[in-house]
């Protein structure tokens, strides 16, 4: 599937997900409002019935119109136009709410016109539980009535939520489905990216192996010629070419086998105390002495750096890979700087080069297996994309940290922090 098609599918999926969530949220809000309105109407009816029953009991006419006034979403006042008996009020409230199947907690208070205060009545729990730790001790007054009681429903939202449990259940299923869909898309994109990197790896590997094999084949064809023995210098030269290309093949195979062993059996570290500065000088001198080295390596090593605890073989490979990586990507005249510094309880090992640098968006991905920084259709640098992956794996096994800094155009800098107590 092409990139444009994938982007189109992802875009349609994102629009669909947003649309589904928006519609579900809209209907959920509508259902909440309807249920809240229904419950409010039921409470108003119940309180009105209570007022009428108490009015008949006291033989006092209720004020004209609806005696129930809703002040907030969960607080109501009821105009009685006469003195109110708390016991009778509580009896009628319980009876009426039970008849209307209103299962929510409430608390009430009666206004005392002599003291101009709301006299707290009681808290009534729908489940029969004890009083909650926090109650509305002072229910607000309402200045337009003289004889009235106020009733507060502290758990009205919980009651509505309980009534809408089935809505929330299906919404949760929908959200889980959306999450699964997003995860599936993520996995598909990740697999596609991995497939592309693997394809590039196979192409690079084919090219890497094909070059020395072709060279060996050409040299072998020359060596089997009958008259080659008459030219010892030519015979020696092509024999040396075969040896060099064979060594190159061995290095390539060993690099692949090394990664395969790491993934199959894990990393077995043989820790020992290593003089880091001495090891850096040794690896740098070997690079300087090698035939394929065309760069300049300079070192700035802190003499106060103590020995570090690590696996000398893997640490040597880390140094080799980072120097080799800088040699490949720094250009025609690479300049590589290696420095060490002691910082409190750790040693900082820094590799810098004068290459083109790496863009910020690729700095974390360069440590991924098979990943190589895109360079369009130009592939001047050979490799499998395994060197920095190996470096990160070994650093993690040692519990060291590695990071990449630098800006495009001014080179790349790799910094390894090695704790002294590890």
- Find all residues with CB under 8 Å of 70, minimum gap 6, and list them: 40, 44, 76
pLDDT at 356: 81
The reply to whether 271-419 shares the fold of 193-265 is: no
Q: Please give the distance of CA 175 from its chain centroid, rounded to a whole number.
A: 18
**Is pLDDT of 200 > 70?**
no
- What is the per-residue pLDDT across 234-247, written as a single tens digit (0 to 9) for each? 778 878 888 777 87
State whether the Cα torsion 17-23-25-27 is positive or negative: negative
CATH topology of domain 193-265: Helix Hairpins (1.10.287)
Name the phi and psi angles at 332, rounded to 5.
-70, -35
Pull the structure tokens for residue 341.
């510094």
CA dist 320 and 209 (Å) reads 21
| Whole-structure pTM value | 0.49
* pLDDT tens digits, 303-354: 888 788 988 888 888 888 888 888 877 767 788 899 999 888 889 999 988 8
Structure confidence at residue 2 as a pLDDT band (50, 70, 90): low
- Whether the per-residue pLDDT at 230 is higher than 80: the answer is no
CA distance 291 to 299: 20
Q: The tokens 């850096």 sit on which residue?
A: 280
Residue 294 and residue 317: Cα distance in Å, rounded?
A: 20
Sketch the domain layout of the chain as residue ranges: 3-163, 193-265, 271-419
Using the predicted structure, report yes or no on whether residue 262 has a pLDDT greater than 90.
Answer: no
- CATH 3.30.565.10 holds for 271-419: yes
Pairing of the two strands 308-311 and 148-152: unpaired
Kind of pairing between the strands at 68-72 and 117-124: unpaired
Which pLDDT value is given to residue 78?
A: 92
Residue-wise pLDDT for 270-301, tens only, equals 889 999 999 998 888 877 766 455 668 888 88
pLDDT tens digits for range 39-64: 999 999 999 999 999 888 888 888 88
């Amino acid at each position: 599937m092409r990139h444009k098609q994938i982007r189109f599918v992802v875009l349609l999926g994102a629009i669909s997900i947003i649309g589904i969530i928006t519609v579900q949220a809209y209907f959920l809000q509508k259902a909440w409002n309807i249920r809240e309105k229904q419950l409010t109407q039921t409470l108003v009816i119940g309180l009105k019935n209570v007022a009428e029953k108490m009015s008949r009991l006291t033989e006092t006419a209720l004020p004209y119109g609806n005696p129930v006034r809703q002040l907030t979403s969960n607080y109501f006042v009821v105009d009685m136009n006469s003195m109110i008996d708390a016991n009778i009020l509580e009896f009628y409230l319980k009876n009426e709410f039970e008849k209307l199947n209103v299962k929510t907690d409430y608390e009430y208070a009666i206004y005392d016109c002599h003291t101009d205060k709301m006299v707290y009545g009681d808290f009534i729990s729908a489940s029969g539980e004890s009083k909650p730790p926090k109650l509305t001790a002072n229910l607000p007054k309402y200045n337009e009535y003289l004889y009235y009681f106020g009733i507060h429903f502290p758990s009205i939202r919980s009651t509505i939520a309980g009534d809408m449990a089935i809505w929330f259940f299906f919404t949760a299923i929908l959200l889980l489905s959306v999450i699964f869909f997003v995860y599936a898309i993520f996995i598909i994109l990740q697999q596609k990216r991995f497939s592309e990197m693997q394809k590039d790896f196979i192409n690079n590997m084919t090219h890497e192996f094909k070059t020395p094999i072709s060279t060996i084949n050409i040299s072998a064809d020359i060596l089997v010629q009958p008259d080659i023995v008459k030219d010892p210098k030519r015979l020696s030269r092509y024999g040396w070419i075969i040896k060099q290309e064979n060594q190159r093949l061995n290095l390539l195979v060993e690099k692949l086998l090394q990664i395969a062993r790491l993934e199959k059996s894990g990393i077995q570290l043989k820790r020992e105390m290593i003089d880091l500065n001495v090891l850096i000088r040794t690896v740098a001198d070997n690079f300087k002495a090698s035939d394929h080295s065309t760069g300049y390596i300079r070192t700035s090593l802190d003499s106060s750096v103590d020995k570090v605890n690590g696996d000398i073989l893997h640490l040597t490979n880390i140094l080799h890979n980072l120097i080799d990586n800088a040699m490949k990507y720094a250009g025609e005249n690479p300049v590589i700087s290696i420095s060490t510094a002691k910082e409190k309880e750790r040693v900082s090992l820094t590799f810098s080069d004068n290459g083109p640098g790496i863009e910020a968006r690729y700095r974390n991905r360069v440590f991924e297996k098979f990943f190589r920084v895109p360079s369009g259709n130009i592939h001047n640098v050979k490799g499998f994309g395994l060197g920095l992956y190996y470096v990160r794996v070994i650093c993690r096994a040692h519990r060291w940290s590695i990071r990449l800094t630098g800006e495009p155009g001014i080179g790349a800098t790799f910094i390894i922090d090695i704790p002294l107590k590890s």
